[in-house]
Amino acid sequence: MMIVEGNAPTTRAARYLKQTLTHFSHKIEVELGEEHGSARFEAGRAELTATADALVVRIEAEDAERAATVERVIVSHAERFGEKDGLKFGQFTPVSA
């Protein structure tokens, strides 16, 4: 099991969490709350958490390749939605299980 985590500094994390997960909800299984949500892709699962100063994404997948696939999908969509605000994720790093 591969678990990676990354974040994008923003004061509008809840907005981007909702926008990103709502976008995927028409195609895949999504759980959405005010400050936490998740999306289950074929390649793995992404958990999004809105904090006061960042949008945090935690990805769980069977291996590094699948984790990277989920990361690319989540990051590309969230950054596109937050483009006007300069939303940018830093490097994702492995997390101990």
Percentage of residues of the chain with pLDDT beyond 90: 98
Is residue 29 situated within a structural domain? yes
Q: Is residue 96 part of a domain?
A: no
* Any domain includes 93: no
Mean pLDDT value across the chain: 96
Which domain CATH number covers 74? Answer: 3.30.310.50
Does the pTM surpass 0.85? The reply is yes
In a domain, 48, yes or no: yes
Question: Is 95 among the domain residues?
Answer: no
What percentage of residues in the chain have a pLDDT greater than 70? 98
At 1-21, the pLDDT tens digits run 999 999 999 999 999 999 999
State the total domains in the chain.
1
The pLDDT tens digits for 22-34 are 999 999 999 999 9
In-domain check, residue 94: no
In a domain, 91, yes or no: no
* 7 within 8 A of 89, measured Cβ to Cβ: yes
Task: Give yes or no for residue 97 having a pLDDT over 70.
Answer: no
The parent domain of residue 44 ranges over 2-84
